[in-house]
Chains A and B, each alone.
Chain A
């Protein structure tokens, strides 16, 4: 499989009044064609920052300091804003924002807001645009009379479907879905997950699926990338993370232990003591060492690099490789 997106040494810092927050510090990974890469971590670990960074629209006062984002063999780091808008955003890479279903304009009906987006990006007749919109509304499992309705007339699941259709109708190859199921009820959540799986298959999309829920990720992702305090802790295939052997990084182990399993009787749920570090003053060495049950001297002094310990399985932990 070829790679549709490669990120090399991406650094994105927030320049706040209190100091520089290194929200993404030297992040490198790639996304293959047709795969779903799951991105997990606690709140504040940089998941959403990474998503926004890939579109090159970090929320202020964030700035991309260094690194490469290569989409279709083109590094978009130095592209001009209007280039980005014309060719890259929503045409090659699009995003389903967190809570986007609540950002639909209450005063426009669905048709008007979808038309506005489409006509802004493509020069075409309104009729032609409407055809495209209808096609995608059907793709996401809605009927066409939704177009006449206003957001308050739709349920959460329906609004989320509208948002998904809007993210897709310019035919991007890469879609970043930021917590697309978090605010939804379990049944609706399952329906949306199934829809995203179907769309990925039918339209040959590559997904970056951001969530804090390891259980959802097990269901949708081919590979999992775990972030902690602005750094990648572990990348592995679904089998490597959730299989018998289990994950390698102590943080991933802790998260997985803290995820309740419905179909298994658990007497005692594990948890990770402490809280994530303040990124204004990240700890020395491994950023996880203060909460890590197996930390030793080296972890406090030196930062562990992300290393491949078996094919496709990358870990940043001194306990997982000898050196």
Chain B
């Protein structure tokens, strides 16, 4: 169960990708960057399901990859169970770290070798991490993992190839593959976005059960607010490489403070009668700017319908401040805005 022990602590991390420069820029020594992640801070408690939400290009996947150490940090710190991950340099140390932090990828059709049987898919991490060489031992671990993800009886699935499995079953195998190493933290990057609606809930349900049984911690990366509300304990909303709001799922959905979160929620259609009423005016302007060209001041100001000069003149990005117990928001004017909205 969830307690207050912090398993992962992300401190002001940045990931800037260099852009190709023109010849004059090279001579002038100018550098240009795509600031995919630009100062992200959050803590994940042991046993919780934490969601990173945002539009495509907001840096949520890059954040996940940084935590996995697939990408190198530009600056900042990622601390996992008290150890700064940037100090892990040798491949054995990194391997050891990745035993504890595992990832489920978005596309179950691309994340598995088509020539591998389910058995091989599940054995591979054990071989790479030199867990065991005994094939009977491996089979035991694989069977247990398959039972955990409800692919029962396991013997029916062990010798199948990925093409003999449905999308939902593949995602179960992908989850089982992370479990064979008994990890502590699982990063799930849009695990259900490619799965049919009728089975989507089943997969989330299974993931939740596995999480409770094995006392795992999840970082759930998604663009879908509805599944996040159902699935997660806390939600962090990202916009252009920064977190703009963070709080418990219910708080974020029922009492959003940041104008961006409000717009995201307003844009979600609901399966109830009385058409043409839910999404009429979305309280947001334009489209997401490029991460190579981030607006000055509050980076949301040019899309915000409440922005005032104080949001972008001579100021930096607003810091994430605590509004009420555990509910954080990064907006200069959120108190006034909520006042204005209430008055109308």
A residues touching B (Cβ–Cβ < 8 Å)? 42-43, 155, 157-158, 185-191, 193-194, 197, 212-222, 238-239, 241-244, 254-256, 258-263, 265-266, 268-273, 275-276
Looking at the assembled complex, report how far the CB atom of B65 sits from the nearest CB atom of chain A, in whole angstroms. 20
Give the shortest distance, in Å, between A158 (CB) and chain B (any CB).
8
**6 A-B pairs with the lowest CB-CB distances in the bound complex, closest first:** A260-B226, A269-B201, A190-B267, A242-B273, A271-B202, A271-B201
Contact between B264 and A187, CB atoms less than 8 A apart: yes
Residues of B within 8 A of A238 (CB): 273-275
With A155-B287, A187-B267: A260-B279 Cβ-Cβ less than 8 Å? no
**Known contacts A157-B287, A221-B275, A269-B205; is A186 also within 8 Å of B198 by CB?**
no
Complex: A197 Cα to B281 Cα, angstroms? 13
Taken together as a complex, chains A and B put the C-alpha atoms of A188 and B200 apart, in Å, by 23
Size category of the B interface is 35 or more
16 pairs, CB–CB < 8 Å, chain A vs chain B: A186-B223, A187-B264, A194-B280, A215-B268, A217-B271, A218-B272, A218-B273, A219-B270, A238-B274, A242-B274, A258-B198, A260-B226, A262-B265, A263-B253, A266-B230, A275-B168
Chain A-chain B contacts (Cβ-Cβ < 8 Å), number: 133
Residues of chain B lying within 8 A (CB to CB) of residue A266: 230
- Cα distance A167–B269 in the bound complex, in angstroms: 25
Q: Please tell me if the beta carbons of A262 and B253 are within 8 angstroms of each other in the complex.
A: yes
Q: Judging by beta carbons under 8 Å apart, are A216 and B280 in contact?
A: no
Within 8 A of A (CB), among B263-300: 263-276, 278-280, 282, 284, 287-288
Does A271 contact B200, Cβ atoms closer than 8 Å? yes
Contact with A along B78-95 (1 / 0, CB 8 A): 000000000000000000
Known: A42-B196, A262-B226, A262-B268. 12 other contacts (CB 8 A): A43-B196, A187-B267, A190-B269, A190-B279, A194-B282, A214-B271, A242-B273, A242-B274, A255-B197, A259-B226, A262-B265, A271-B202
**In whole angstroms, how far apart are the Cα atoms of A197 and B168 in the complex?**
34
Question: Which of A191, A256, A263 has the most C-beta atoms of chain B within 10 angstroms of its own C-beta?
Answer: A263
Tell me, in angstroms, the Cα distance from A215 to B266 when the chains sit together: 13
Contacts of B266 in A (CB 8 A): 190
State in angstroms the CA–CA spacing of A261 and B263 once bound together.
17
A244 vs B166: C-alpha distance when bound (angstroms): 34
A219 touches B276 (CB 8 A): yes
A219 CB contacts on chain B under 8 angstroms = 269-270, 275-276, 278-279
Report whether B204 and A269 are in contact in the complex, using a CB–CB cutoff of 8 Å: yes
Q: When A155-B287, A259-B197, A260-B201 are in contact, do A197 and B276 touch as well, CB less than 8 Å?
A: yes
* A212/B269 contact (C-beta < 8 A), A185-B55, A262-B229 known: no
Q: Is the CB of B230 within 8 A of A260?
A: yes
Pairwise interchain contact B229-A260, C-beta atoms closer than 8 A: yes
- CB neighbours (8 Å) of B168 from chain A are 275
Find residues 192-244 in chain B having any chain A CB closer than 8 Å to their own CB: 196-202, 204-205, 223-227, 229-230
CA gap between A258 and B276 in the complex, in Å? 22
B255 located at the interface, meaning its Cβ lies under 8 Å from any Cβ of chain A in the complex: no
B82-126 interface (Cβ within 8 A of A):
none
Asked whether A222 lies within 8 Å of B275 as measured between CB atoms, the reply is yes
B201 to A270, Cβ gap below 8 A?
A: yes
- State whether the Cβ of B316 lies closer than 8 Å to any Cβ in chain A: no
